[in-house]
Amino acid sequence: MPASIQKRPISPSWGEIAKKAQDHRDASIALLDPPLPEIAELPLNSTPVPKTILTAEEVAITEADPVGLVSQLASGTLTSVQVTEAFLRRAGLAQKLTNCVTELLPVASLERATYLDSYIKEHGKPIGPLHGLPISVKEHIGMKGLTLNAGFIAWHDRTADQNALILDILYAAGAVFYVRTTQPQTLMHLETSSNFYGETVNPFNRTLTSGGSSGGEGAIIGMRGSCLGIGTDIGGSIRSPAANNGVYGLRPTSYRLPLSGLSATMLGQEQIVPVIGPLSTSLGGVKLFMKTLIDAQPWLQEPSLLPFPWKTASQIPTDASGNKTLKIAVLYDDGVVRPHPPVLRALKTVAEKLARVQGVQVTEWKPYKHAEAWTIISSLYFCDGGKEESEAIEASGEPWRPLSKFIIKENENVKRHSVREVWDWTVKREEYRTEYARLWGDVDVILCPVGPGAAPPLNCARYWGYTAQWNLLDYPALIAPITKVDPEIDLADTSYKPRNPKDAYNHDLYSPEKYANAPVSLQLVGRRYEDEKVVEAMEYMMEKVGAPFTEFV
Amino acid sequence: MPASIQKRPISPSWGEIAKKAQDHRDASIALLDPPLPEIAELPLNSTPVPKTILTAEEVAITEADPVGLVSQLASGTLTSVQVTEAFLRRAGLAQKLTNCVTELLPVASLERATYLDSYIKEHGKPIGPLHGLPISVKEHIGMKGLTLNAGFIAWHDRTADQNALILDILYAAGAVFYVRTTQPQTLMHLETSSNFYGETVNPFNRTLTSGGSSGGEGAIIGMRGSCLGIGTDIGGSIRSPAANNGVYGLRPTSYRLPLSGLSATMLGQEQIVPVIGPLSTSLGGVKLFMKTLIDAQPWLQEPSLLPFPWKTASQIPTDASGNKTLKIAVLYDDGVVRPHPPVLRALKTVAEKLARVQGVQVTEWKPYKHAEAWTIISSLYFCDGGKEESEAIEASGEPWRPLSKFIIKENENVKRHSVREVWDWTVKREEYRTEYARLWGDVDVILCPVGPGAAPPLNCARYWGYTAQWNLLDYPALIAPITKVDPEIDLADTSYKPRNPKDAYNHDLYSPEKYANAPVSLQLVGRRYEDEKVVEAMEYMMEKVGAPFTEFV
């Protein structure tokens, strides 16, 4: 191919495309009436700002529990227009402060809210269990007629022919879609950094990441610009942003919630199944989301899904007198990368409090070959050697973001496999899953870190082990906020001798000042398909130990 | 590589290995005491022979329903030694008549039966729900210390380190393993033809096939040398032999029964999941098998399995008065290959009788792109281009059996795919599954042929569409015997104009005389995971229409 063709300039350039996307986003926010003020100086901690700008009613609505909101919407105490307007305004502020939005949908959402308000007036009852509730949506979840770029500039002109099935079901249940949120290039970062929008930052500390790949969702919910949002997770992409932003997030077991209508690379890959799931300001929001979707019997439309109901009866065992008993195994350290002091403090505090709860038995979980687990899962992520991602990046001339390069180009396990090699890795995956399942014994849930620290500085989220472990095993895993990094208490462990380069990298990242104020969250993991039990156990645990131990908003 | 190395003679030769396997089998039968008579002239129809050789008690035991047997075993009316001896003898005869056995296990099984008899004496109760029941097992299901060759001569010296999980569970429930059965080279035929043993023939007509790949099971159960056996199915391998031999057989939905510990090619392949399931002389046997295995919670040992219970509550809808209602859609012809007259007669007869049953609604099921379905599934079967099968065949120098050549070498869809191509075919599979699921509407079950005819002449089972269709969709599919080919009634349709070469091949196969006396069976199919409903609906249907319409033993 002659050099003149090889190097011909792409028109429009990737930069022009990105500028257009940003302009579109800004124009969608400019539609708000009254307009939002510009924020001249962006503070380190963005979370107090909305309260200084919004009305008291807007603050009250946006900081309410989603379960309370649907109840008020159903009874008519609140209108959907009121609620949607409040969230639109706070979402707009969240964008200005953390860069988490790809577009607001004020016209469509207010039209929908108006319809729902008239519906309830006419019929005297809500249209469904989510009547009038605004829900935020990650960009790569198809919304009819809107972009579907999955973070690739080259895909900027792809649009959805129809809604993703999950949106159709939530819509039928009464949801209002009002904002779409950011994601990283490739969707395969534990941060949110793209050439469309740059980086989504952490609401609590803008030098830190909001996490990813559902980092737009994490930041907007952390900012209370949303109370319930939809993310996706193949290695930690719901849980890292939930944890980094002090909110709840569930990675359900695979094939429980509808995945059809998403844009991503590697479609058709089933060795490590991506999942869709909720991030929310409350556990009630997580449950409401799961139950609404599963009650709609999505398996009739998407036959890969499992026809399990969402169990509402208690899944926690009881003793002879009917008292709940719970055996919680605590994993402090996966044996590969030691968590930072604030994470270990959170784990120890919770474990100590749990040990004093009647009926709760706390044991320690010994990690079983977690380094090998990473080798298996990362050998199964990009079985074409990352060809599809490379092509999608390079087609527009956009540069590789550092964490795209890290996970694809600098990852020793990324190889172009033959079909036989994929089968061999699948056999190893299944052997590992079998070994792990047989270690469970009578443990109910595992309590563990979400990552090797709180939200790291930008472009430093390089260790996936604490979340990807459960994707490999396909276990349900739920995040809850526990505390924040306190530089007074969470001193660096200067005597620690790292075990390996990954451990050293993580150890060197930490200083109490850098991480100050970052949320510290924990993860609760259950056996495959025991999603309901994990949610119930987390609720029980949080109540019994009095967590979270601090306020986040 | 020099020609001298390329062509060096293999020692022992494949023929010597096969001879050794046959000698081992014959020696295992020769252990029976009193010895079985030789059968000098093999009749066309083998089924009447056992009654002329066995004692009345042996006949009564081996022709009893497995549910009745476990009840008699549990109450002590029959001992396990009695029952095992009877089945060993009839299995030995089945071998002599149809060539369906790889080895009898008289020593181990009688030792086990003796133990179980002493157990019940000592404890006054059975050891489990299968106490003392003999179960037959297809060879490639690992049995500790025994061969595990999957039909490849080159694998003749592979043995199982441990029992397959399914055997461990059945054993714990009280089963007695007493015979292992034949399978074809590659396991990928709808017949049972290998270089170890030659062809397993049909008990009702030795010029016809027993079906396959679980054709050893089909023939032995058709001969009543077993009342309950274990087969596997990735394209029809439980259903073809069940149908050809006039017995029941269930292909359950994937991931309901434990698969670990099987020997086969393509291990780690998950695009089209093989399943394990029962063949039995009764629907009660099928239910007993499913319930026993699922009640044991095999998902705790094999975490790919789904933690569904085996539902015992009725799954058939009822009307306002509580009467059962059933909407049965009849698929007469898949639009690709028209079934032979006896199959169409069986369908029409059953459909007409069903239409007269109160509460049953009979409609016609229009096939939806069944030719495309075959393209998809056969593109996903051998994604390495059949490399593993070719190597396993050629390593010993054994010749390709005609149907191995047909399905791998002469199959236009067998290609060496890249990983991306596998993903693309998987997307097509999922799209097709989605389209099909959305066509179901309020249909409860589909009644359809099991194949394009009754058991065909040897080496002629070249059309997989009627069974592989449901593997592609992963729907539960159950076989029941309905009638037999009657040359007086089932005249050839000489006016029929075939639509395509496959249709012509099948049409030309038929003549009433060739197929005389072959069992004609039908298949009932349900939505994914509705295994219990399919079994219940079949039971209901058979009772209401008074099927089977003839005796098979």
Is residue B167 included in any domain, yes or no? yes
Token digits for A9?
């300039």
pTM for the model stands at 0.96
Nearest CB to B422 within list A304, A416, A419: A419
pLDDT per position as a tens digit, B49-101: 999 999 999 999 999 999 999 999 999 999 999 999 999 999 999 999 999 99
- Asked if B268 lies within 8 A of A529 by C-beta distance, the reply is no
Least Cα distance to B553 among B295, B65, B223 occurs for B223
Is residue B150 included in any domain, yes or no? yes
Question: Is pLDDT above 50 for B3?
Answer: no
pLDDT per position as a tens digit, B222-235: 999 999 999 999 99
Q: Which of residues 329-368 of A touch B (CB under 8 A)?
A: none
C-alpha distances in Å from residue A367, one per residue of A326, A336, A371, A450, B75: 20, 9, 10, 14, 49
Q: How far apart are CA A416 and CA A425, in angstroms?
A: 13
Q: For residue B282, give the DSSP letter.
A: S
ipTM here = 0.96
Question: Is pLDDT above 80 for B7?
Answer: no
C-alpha distances in Å from residue B150, one per residue of A114, A209, B216, B269: 65, 53, 13, 16
Which residues of A form the catalytic set? 138, 213, 237
List, as residue ranges, the binding site of A for substrate. Answer: 187, 213, 234-237
pLDDT per position as a tens digit, A366-390: 999 999 999 999 999 999 999 999 9
Q: For residue B175, give the DSSP letter.
A: -
B458 CB-side CA count, 13 A: 16
pLDDT category of residue B2 using cuts at 50, 70 and 90: very low
Going by DSSP bridges, is the β-strand pair A176-181/A134-138 parallel, antiparallel, or unpaired? parallel
Q: CA of A552 to nearest chain B CA: how many angstroms apart? A: 38
Question: Is pLDDT above 60 for B4?
Answer: no
* Mean of pLDDT values over B404-415: 97
Residues A375-379: contacts with CB under 8 Å, at least 24 apart: A375/A413, A376/A425, A376/A428, A376/A429, A376/A432, A376/A472, A377/A235, A377/A272, A377/A429, A377/A468, A377/A469, A377/A471, A377/A472, A378/A411, A378/A413, A378/A414, A378/A464, A378/A468, A379/A413, A379/A414, A379/A415, A379/A417, A379/A425
Q: For residue B147, give the DSSP letter.
A: B
Write the burial class of residue B225 (CB in 10 Å: 0-12 exposed, 13-18 middle, 19+ buried). Answer: buried
Percent of chain A with pLDDT over 90: 98
Q: CA of A451 to nearest chain B CA: how many angstroms apart? A: 25
A5 touches chain B (CB under 8 A): no
pLDDT category of residue A11 using cuts at 50, 70 and 90: confident
A349 CB-side CA count, 13 A: 21
Question: Is pLDDT above 80 for A10?
Answer: no
Q: Determine the residue type at A114.
A: T
Residue A330's beta-bridge partner residues?
A364, A447
Q: How far apart are CA B219 and CA B213, in angstroms?
A: 11
A116 CB-side CA count, 13 A: 34
Q: Which of residues 386-405 of A touch B (CB under 8 A)?
A: 387-388
More confident residue, B2 or B218: B218
pLDDT per position as a tens digit, A134-146: 999 999 999 999 9
Residues of B in contact with A376 (CB under 8 A): none
- Asked if A267 lies within 8 A of B423 by C-beta distance, the reply is yes
- Asked if A387 lies within 8 A of B420 by C-beta distance, the reply is yes
Token digits for B527?
């939505």
Nearest CB to B528 within list A260, A303, A420: A303
Question: Is pLDDT above 80 for A3?
Answer: no
What is the SS3 assignment for B225?
coil
Residues of B in contact with A529 (CB under 8 A): 299, 306-307
- Largest Cα span, chain A: 81
Query: Are residues A232 and A260 in contact, defined by beta-carbon separation less than 8 angstroms?
Result: no
Q: Which residue has the tokens 């990368």?
A: A337
Q: Which of residues 415-444 of B touch A (CB under 8 A)?
A: 416-420, 422-427, 430, 433-434, 436-438, 440
* Mean of pLDDT values over A442-447: 98
Q: How far apart are CA B373 and CA B377, in angstroms?
A: 6
Is residue B51 included in any domain, yes or no? no
Q: Which of B214, B237, B254, B378 is catalytic?
A: B237
Residue B213 appears among annotated catalytic residues? yes
Q: How far apart are CA A108 and CA A110, in angstroms?
A: 6
Would you tell me how many other CB atoms lie within 10 Å of the CB of residue A549? 15
In chain A, the N- to C-terminal Cα span, in Å, equals: 58
Mean pLDDT of chain B: 97
CATH of the domain at B83: 3.90.1300.10
- Asked if B384 lies within 8 A of A416 by C-beta distance, the reply is no
Q: How far apart are CA B392 and CA B239, in angstroms?
A: 26
* Mean of pLDDT values over B291-302: 98
pLDDT category of residue A4 using cuts at 50, 70 and 90: very low
Nearest CB to A419 within list B417, B436, B529: B417
Domain carrying residue B148: 56-300
Q: What is the pLDDT of residue B11?
A: 81
List the single best residue of B304, B379, B380, B419 to mutate versus A (max A Cβ within 10 A): B419
Name the closest residue on chain B to residue A432, using Cα atoms. Answer: B303
Q: CA of B122 to nearest chain A CA: how many angstroms apart? A: 31
Is residue B153 included in any domain, yes or no? yes
pLDDT per position as a tens digit, A390-423: 999 999 999 999 999 999 999 999 999 999 999 9
Residue A480's beta-bridge partner residues?
A522
Cis peptide before A213 (omega within 30 of 0): yes
List the single best residue of A302, A390, A419 to mutate versus B (max B Cβ within 10 A): A419
Residues of A in contact with B473 (CB under 8 A): 303
What is the SS3 assignment for B317?
coil
What is the SS3 assignment for B320?
coil
Q: CA of B98 to nearest chain A CA: how many angstroms apart? A: 36
Name the closest residue on chain A to residue B432, using Cα atoms. Answer: A303
Q: What is the pLDDT of residue A9?
A: 59
* Mean of pLDDT values over A477-492: 98
Name the closest residue on chain A to residue B441, using Cα atoms. Answer: A300
A311 touches chain B (CB under 8 A): no
Q: For residue A497, give the DSSP letter.
A: -
Residues of B in contact with A308 (CB under 8 A): 308
Q: What is the 3-state secondary structure (H, E, C) of A244-312?
A: HCCCEEEECCCCCCCCCCECCCCCCCCCCCCEEEEEECCHHHHHHHHHHHHHCCHHHCCCCCCCCCCCC
Nearest CB to A384 within list B300, B420, B425: B420
* Mean of pLDDT values over A310-317: 96
Residues of A in contact with B474 (CB under 8 A): 303
Write the burial class of residue A2 (CB in 10 Å: 0-12 exposed, 13-18 middle, 19+ buried). Answer: exposed
Structural domains of chain A, count: 1
What is the SS3 assignment for A525?
strand
* Mean of pLDDT values over A178-205: 98
Question: Is pLDDT above 50 for B411?
Answer: yes
Least Cα distance to A15 among A195, A175, A155 occurs for A195
pLDDT per position as a tens digit, A524-533: 999 999 999 9
Q: How far apart are CA B472 and CA B379, in angstroms?
A: 11
Q: What is the pLDDT of residue B258?
A: 98
Q: CA of B288 to nearest chain A CA: how many angstroms apart? A: 23
Residues of A in contact with B426 (CB under 8 A): 268-270
Residue A329 host element (H or E): strand A326-330
C-alpha distances in Å from residue B458, one per residue of A85, A104, B198, B329: 73, 67, 11, 32
- Asked if B383 lies within 8 A of A419 by C-beta distance, the reply is yes
Is residue A514 included in any domain, yes or no? no
B309 touches chain A (CB under 8 A): no
Q: What does the buried/exposed string (b/e) look like for A366-378 if buried means 16 or more CB atoms within 10 Å of the residue's CB?
A: ebeebeebbbbbb
* Mean of pLDDT values over B182-201: 98
pLDDT category of residue A8 using cuts at 50, 70 and 90: low
What is the SS3 assignment for B383?
coil
Query: Are residues B76 and B70 in contact, defined by beta-carbon separation less than 8 angstroms?
Result: no
In chain B, the N- to C-terminal Cα span, in Å, equals: 58
Cα-Cα-Cα-Cα torsion B283, B287, B288, B293, nearest 10 degrees, comes to: 140
Q: Which residue has the tokens 């094999």?
A: B302
Question: Is pLDDT above 90 for B134?
Answer: yes
Q: How far apart are CA A15 and CA A9, in angstroms?
A: 12
Nearest CB to B269 within list A423, A433, A473: A423
Is residue B549 included in any domain, yes or no? no
Q: What is the pLDDT of residue A2?
A: 46
- Asked if A419 lies within 8 A of B419 by C-beta distance, the reply is yes
Q: Determine the residue type at B191.
A: E
Token digits for B19?
């001879």
pLDDT per position as a tens digit, B255-272: 999 999 999 999 999 999
Which residues make Cβ contacts (< 8 Å) with residue A207, sequence separation at least 6? A44, A201, A457, A458, A514
Token digits for B348?
């029409």
Nearest CB to B270 within list A270, A303, A437: A270
Residue B109 appears among annotated catalytic residues? no
What is the SS3 assignment for B520?
strand
Residues of B in contact with A422 (CB under 8 A): 268, 419, 422
Query: Are residues A367 and A335 in contact, defined by beta-carbon separation less than 8 angstroms?
Result: yes
* Mean of pLDDT values over B290-303: 98
Least Cα distance to B37 among B110, B104, B96 occurs for B96
Q: How far apart are CA A237 and CA A256, in angstroms?
A: 17
How wide is the angle at C-alpha B212 spanned by C-alphas B90 and B509, nearest 5°?
A: 110
Residues of A in contact with B444 (CB under 8 A): none
B269 touches chain A (CB under 8 A): yes
Q: Is B235 annotated as a binding residue?
A: yes
Residue B201's beta-bridge partner residues?
B209
pLDDT per position as a tens digit, A123-172: 999 999 999 999 999 999 999 999 999 999 999 999 999 999 999 999 99
Q: How far apart are CA B129 and CA B295, in angstroms?
A: 10
Write the burial class of residue A116 (CB in 10 Å: 0-12 exposed, 13-18 middle, 19+ buried). Answer: buried
- Asked if A419 lies within 8 A of B424 by C-beta distance, the reply is no
pLDDT per position as a tens digit, B510-548: 999 999 999 999 999 999 999 999 999 999 999 999 999
Q: For residue A406, give the DSSP letter.
A: I
Is residue A364 included in any domain, yes or no? no
Residues shown for chain A: 553
Q: How far apart are CA B462 and CA B321, in angstroms?
A: 48
Is residue B365 included in any domain, yes or no? no
Q: How many interchain CB pairs under 8 A, A with B? A: 102
* Mean of pLDDT values over B4-25: 83
Query: Are residues A141 and A233 in contact, defined by beta-carbon separation less than 8 angstroms?
Result: no
